[in-house]
Structure 1
Amino acid sequence: ARREGGVVGGSGGGGDNDDDRDFDRDGDDLKLSFLYIIDNIISIRNSVLSIGSVFVFAYLKKGVAQS
């Protein structure tokens, strides 16, 4: 009887641990996806800025060449 109780208790504990681990993993996934989105926004902004600066540079160069 005692062994059965131990097994049941052990499986219950295992279940709890699994649940906790799942919750932690979900939290990490949310955190990672949030960081990933921020990272994407920053990289998109940087690429837009670099493309923009190239256009501005070409425009200024053209303006200087014309004048």
Structure 2
Amino acid sequence: REPAEAIMIGDGLGTDIAAAIAVGARSILMLTGVTTRIAVDAAPPEQRPTFVAADAAELAAILQGIGP
């Protein structure tokens, strides 16, 4: 499998999302309180996640939209 096929789900912009970006994987940032929407918006575009989910329902919708 290729890294671009992987999806990293995490709540840390500087850790989880940075790791996904480093290996070329897609990423979903969960807004659990570790990282805020303001921090995501303030980050340089190359450091932002592919998707942002505010809760489990949004995460499920994103994953369904991505497909297998």
Alignment TM class, shorter chain as reference? under 0.3
Between structures 1 and 2, the one with greater helix share: 1
Structure that is richer in strand per residue = 2
Structure-1-length-normalised TM-score: 0.20
* TM-score, normalised via structure 2 length: 0.20
Larger CA Rg, structure 1 vs 2? 1
